[in-house]
A and B are shown apart, each in its own frame.
Chain A
Amino acid sequence: MISVEIWSTLAIVAPVVGALVSLLGGRRSILAGMTLGAAGSLASAAGLYLTVRVNGVARHALGGWGRPLGIELYVDGLSVVFVALAAVVGTAVGVYASIYFGEAASSGDYSTPGARGARYFAPLSLFLWAGLNGVFLSGDLFNLYVMLEIVGLSAAALVTLAVTAKATQAGMRYLFVSLSGSMLFLLGIAILYLVHGTLSLEQLAQARPSGLASASALALMTAGLAAKTALFPLHAWLPPAHAAAPAPASAILSALVVKSAFYVVVRLWLFVFGLTLPGADAQGALVLMGTLGAGAIVWGSVMALRQVSLKRLIAYSTVAQLGYLFVMFPLLTQPSADAGSGAWSVDAWSGGMYHALCHGLAKAAMFLAAGNMTYAVADDAIESISGVARRLPMSLLAFGLGGLSLAGVPPSGGFLAKWLLLGAALEAGRWIWAVVIAVGGLLTLAYVLMVAREAFDAPEDPGDFRAVPRRMEWAALALAVVAVLLGLRGVEIIELLQIGGVGPWR
């Protein structure tokens, strides 16, 4: 019987080894490295899923030391969901990138500005992947910091792979946000260590941190992570960075990287600090997060509607959709008759996390599809994509399916997520959150249709299309289809999300 030790090690090690292999140089080693990383991640996601389904929460004491002395990997349903998301998105993007950069790689001339992407996309994205899996599996505060740094460094480098001045500026800004966010996070870690004398998440959770010092540590960490995850109003860095990056990099950034910081927020708020537990009395903080999330939904959607550039529109859509993840927080506790303590809302929890999952898949699909369209027409303006409906039906389908899933059109995965959130809001009689959720969905539909309408227009000058390789279209479509299909097979994932140490199961 292969144990959790093997699978969790595989999730961390496979991308690192893949990155090292891909650094050897040459197209074959890049392909081999990507394959290794993707295969390892997919296998480990499946293995961890089975382990957690059968045995529940699993731990891997690295080096055999165990907490508090050593570092532990901690695997519950939530970790598995995110590792699986990273595996699926990473694999699809890897396939896409091998074609996208493929021409440059096969020409063997790495000296052209853009061809650097051909050589360095694979190692950087694989290191990023390792960092992401490390974040999702980590059970140790300081280890989270190290992993987030790896994610931040490689993500910023991915943005600057598009060598334009715009991209360099955006990457630089992103690096600063990432580094200063990390510093705030690290200060929070320092304070928590000084107060509680341990770095293990589980031990901290048992200590039930409270009091001024711990609260300020949480505030500092949340501020740093909010900057990293581009929570409104700290989102200004995201649209330029995600719009200027090469298309496969944009997909990874929007789908996975911002989620990693969000994941840490969830771990801290719900798991370590247990802010939704009876008696935590943190409704104010939860509502504040929800309010920022609501602001993100409205502001991001309105800004998306006003964009003239396709990739910027999608980037603003990311800002908006991240808002839903934070709107989840106030809905997690249902107000009950006896004031102070609230009951845990399974619907809100499942809905929020399900949304993270679906958004990851759908947004990656949309960015890849947008990459195909801009590649075909050699322009990023929305008005220039007219006619892609005829030329690139598969890409447009991928974009549309992804967009509809985000908008929450049944039977997509996004629909299920929004339905659960809406249900939680209505059940608790908090109609204002319900309105925000519904309005956000309508706005999403509006900007997706705006792009689709342009795509169906007849092109002014037919014949100006570059041929888009088939596999690039298939990669986008595959992700979009998975995003929709998630709406049909929600039960397993929602059950999986209940396994673990968050909320009342602690």
Chain B
Amino acid sequence: MSSEIAYVIAGAAVFVAGLVGTMGRTHLFWKILGVNFMGSGIFLILIAAAPRLPGEGADPVPQAMVLTGIVVAAASSALALGMALRVVVRSGGPFLSEDAPGPPAERTEPEVDSPGPRT
């Protein structure tokens, strides 16, 4: 087993771990981490498995793709984290409503005024 294959296998495992984390965890921050790990796994696979020219480093095209991917992942993580914090502030917890843990806690919305009549 060559070194590259070890990294390819690790990449697949990392991808699946990230996928499971994204799907399985309810906490938003872990979901964001999971998406990042999915990306890292793919990047590993791409660079480790691409055939290379003798006497040179990794195939430059996947390298450029991975560089692009890392930047895009950083941008998406930033937006996702920003949104997650707004979810925390606006709906009282780092969870999406359907998969909030436990019985739904009593909402403590600041009531600015008594609800007016709705048409």
Question: Are A173 and B80 in contact, with the CB atoms below 8 A?
Answer: no
Out of A153, A169, A199, which one reaches B76, CB within 8 Å? Answer: A153
| Interface of chain B residues 61 through 119 with chain A (CB within 8 A) | 61-62, 65, 68-69, 72, 75-76, 79-80, 83-84, 86-87, 90-91, 96-97, 118-119
Q: Interface with B: A80-88, A180-188, A412-420, which one?
A: A180-188
The answer on a CB contact under 8 Å between B96 and A149 is: no
Contact of A146 among B31, B72, B87 (CB under 8 A): B72
| A492 at the binding interface (Cβ < 8 Å) | no
Contacts of A199 in B (CB 8 A): 61
Instruction: State the main secondary structure of chain B at its contact with A.
Output: helix
Q: Which chain A residues lie closer than 8 Å to B17 at the CB level?
A: none
Stretch at the interface among A245-253, A377-385, A482-490: A377-385
A232 to chain B, nearest CB (A): 18
Q: Interface residues of B, CB < 8 Å — how many?
A: 36
Q: Is A91 on the interface with B (CB-CB < 8 A)?
A: no
Q: Is the CB of A379 within 8 A of B118?
A: yes
The answer to whether B80 and A179 touch across the interface, beta carbons within 8 angstroms, is: yes
Q: 1/0 contact trace for B36-68 toward A, CB 8 Å?
A: 001100100110011100000000011001001
A120 within 8 A of B: no
Q: Does A11 contact B (CB under 8 A)?
A: no
Does A160 reach chain B (CB closer than 8 Å)? yes
**Is the pair A172, B96 in contact by a Cβ cutoff of 8 Å?**
yes
CA A267 – CA B23 in complex, angstroms? 28
Contact A157/B79 with A146-B68, A180-B35, A186-B42 known, Cβ cut-off 8 Å: yes
Chain A binding surface SS class: helix
A153 to B72, CA, bound (A): 10
The interface residues of chain A lying within 8 Å CB-to-CB of B9 are none
- A153 near B83 with CB under 8 A, answer no
Other-chain contact of B119, A164, A171, A172, A384 (Cβ < 8 Å): A384
Determine the distance from Cα of A190 to Cα of B49 in the docked complex, in whole angstroms. 9
In this complex, how many residues of chain A approach chain B with their Cβ under 8 Å: the count is 35
Assuming the contacts A153-B76, A194-B50, asked whether A168 and B62 have C-beta atoms less than 8 A apart, the reply is no
Instruction: Give which listed residue, B42, B46, B51, contacts A183 with CB less than 8 A.
Output: B42
Judged by a CB distance under 8 angstroms, whether B19 is at the interface is yes
Residues of B within 8 A of A142 (CB): 65, 68
Could you tell me which residues of chain A, from 194 to 214, have a CB within 8 Å of some CB in chain B? 194, 197, 199
In the complex, what residues of B have CB within 8 A of residue A164's CB? Answer: 90
A193 at the A/B interface (Cβ < 8 Å)? yes
Contact, CB under 8 Å: A194 / B46: yes
Question: Is the beta-carbon distance between A180 and B19 smaller than 8 angstroms?
Answer: yes
CB closest chain-B residue, reference A149: B72
What residues of chain A lie closer than 8 Å to B15, measured between beta carbons?
183, 187
* Contact of A378 with B119 at beta-carbon distance under 8 Å, contacts A153-B79, A156-B79 already known: yes
Contact A168–B83 (Cβ < 8 Å): yes
- B38 to chain A: which residues have CB within 8 Å? 180, 183, 187
Chain B residues contacting A180 (CB-CB under 8 Å) are 19, 22-23, 35, 38
B46:A169 contact, CB within 8 angstroms: no
Q: Are B50 and A168 in contact (CB under 8 A)?
A: no
Q: Any chain B CB within 8 A of the CB of A338?
A: no
Q: Nearest chain A CB to B111's CB is how many angstroms away? A: 14
Closest to A179 in B: B35
- State the 5 A-B residue pairs at the shortest beta-carbon distance, nearest first: A165-B90, A183-B38, A165-B91, A190-B46, A179-B35
B residues lining the A interface (CB < 8 Å): 15, 18-19, 22-23, 28, 31, 35, 38-39, 42, 45-46, 49-51, 61-62, 65, 68-69, 72, 75-76, 79-80, 83-84, 86-87, 90-91, 96-97, 118-119
Q: What would 12 A/B residue contacts be, using CB atoms closer than 8 Å?
A: A160-B83, A168-B83, A172-B83, A175-B83, A180-B35, A183-B18, A183-B38, A186-B69, A187-B38, A193-B62, A193-B65, A194-B46
Q: Interface on A for B, CB 8 Å cutoff?
A: 142, 146, 149, 152-153, 156-157, 160, 163-165, 168-169, 171-173, 175-176, 179-180, 183, 186-187, 190, 193-194, 197, 199, 377-379, 384, 460-461, 464
